[in-house]
Amino acid sequence: MSEPMSKNPELYRLHVPITASRGNLLGKEGDTMLVLGKRAQLHTRDPFPLKHGAVSPSAVHQWLLFDPMEKAEAEILFEELKARLPALSLRLRASYRIGPWTTLSTSPGEMHNGQIPTLIPAIHQPSPAWTEAFLSDEKTGWQDWLDNCPRVSDARLIAALSLFVSASDEALPRSQFLTYLTILDSLAVRWPREDATIAWIDEKLKETVAINDKALSNALTNLKEVSHGFAVRSLVKRAAKAQGSASAAINAYAKSAGDLYRVRSDLSHAGKSVTPDVNAARELVGLVLDQAILDPSLLDPPVVKSDESSTALTPDASMENAVVHG
């Protein structure tokens, strides 16, 4: 008596959309290649079917279609490809991403959304549909806005505005958040503390423990200026005041800046797992940039009188700051 035939596993084709800014492509239309040991065909969208003629940096330009494989195998391949693309982008000095969505979907038939990584049963011929509506955010009345936009020639603002625009192309909320906080950090210029505080630090620098410990000496020297966090809060308060905000709103903006800066420090230095508030960071950066393009002098450090330093140090506080931030 013959053994019953084992049921053949269902096979799937893996469709992986690829985004790349600045026209970086993985190859030519129809190229066949081995990707992580699996055979795939590369397809290119040409021309890009965008309604208004502009090519969004987050639009899908190409996609990989893999030969049929078992579902579990395809899922592992997808996760591996997703995990390796950031390193590939770095090495090629490009910007390859899976997206704009990174969650793997399964299509019941041949029709599927080409924007989404998808498993298609091998019995069907994949037929991706391209819908760009969600990528379109049509701005109406921009001509009037343009007429009222000032010319920007300040080098600090040009760099900051470039970063602000590029932040929307970041795939990860964490990357967007860090970009926005980098903008604030770069625009918030530190300034010297009051004379009495600097004199106290100079005396501490003469002590043997500071002379023998270069890191401590550098940290103490760094304390001669207000902290980056304080400079950021001060910049945000100046922008809020220039906007005409009430005192309560100005204080709320400053508190938000402090909270966001601490999150930024946790992400950048402490390696903590925290959820960044991208919208709040974008709002603060927008506030500062909106006011700074009207008056670039907003970015200049304030002139602080000797009795106005809000960061005067006691000996204990200065040593703590040197240890924590140095």
Q: What is the pLDDT of residues 19-60, one digit of tens each?
A: 876 667 888 899 999 999 999 999 988 655 444 334 455 566
Rg of the Cα atoms in the chain: 27
Nearest to 291 by CA among 224, 254, 245: 245
State residue 315's pLDDT score: 43
Q: Cα 42–48–49 angle (5° rounding)?
A: 125
What pLDDT, on the 0 to 100 scale, is given for residue 22? 61
Which pLDDT does position 143 carry in this prediction?
66
CA distances from 6 to 9, 13, 23 (A): 9, 22, 48
| Highest mean pLDDT, choosing among 150-154, 197-201, 237-241, 317-321 | 237-241
Contact 36, 88 (CB under 8 A): no
Q: Compute the distance between CA of residue 250 and CA of residue 253 in angstroms, rounded to an integer.
A: 5
- pLDDT tops 90 at residue 64: yes
The two beta strands, 32-35 and 38-44, are antiparallel
Residues sharing a CB contact under 8 Å with residue 252, sequence separation 6 or more, in sequence order? none
DSSP string, 16-72: EEEEEGGG--SS-TT-EEEETTEEEEEEE-SS---TTS---TTSEEEEEEEPPEEHH
What residues does 269 pair with on adjacent strands?
Answer: none
Q: What phi, psi does 197 have (nearest 5°)?
A: -70, -45
pTM over 0.85: no
Give residue 96's pLDDT.
Answer: 83
Task: Name the pairing type of β-strands 118-121 and 11-20.
Answer: antiparallel
Strands 96-98 and 11-20: antiparallel
pLDDT at 73: 96
Tokens of 133: 């509506």
- Whether the CA torsion 64, 97, 83, 279 is positive or negative: it is negative
On the question of pLDDT at 289 being above 50, the answer is yes
Give the Cα separation of 208 and 192 in Å (integer): 25
What's at 164, amino acid-wise?
Answer: F
Give the residue ranges of DSSP H helices in 223-310. 228-243, 247-265, 278-294
DSSP annotation of 235: H
pLDDT single digits (tens) 170-185: 778 888 899 999 999 9
Query: Which among 67, 59, 68 has a CA at the least distance from the CA of 12?
Result: 68
pLDDT at 165: 80
Give CA–CA dist 97/21, Å, rounded.
9
Residue percentage of the chain with pLDDT more than 90: 44
The residue among 12, 9, 41, 15 whose CA lies nearest residue 27 is 41
CA–CA distance, 289 with 149 (Å, rounded to integer): 12
Interval 295-309 mean pLDDT: 74
pLDDT in tens, 76-126: 999 999 888 878 887 787 778 887 777 899 999 989 999 899 999 999 999
Would you state the structure tokens that stand for residue 60, as one six-digit string?
A: 């899908």
Q: Is 183 exposed, middle or buried (0-12, 13-18, 19+ CB in 10 A)?
A: buried
What is d(CA 54, CA 316) in angstroms, rounded to the nearest whole number? 58
Look at residue 302 in the predicted model and tell me its pLDDT.
78
Average pLDDT over residues 278-302: 91
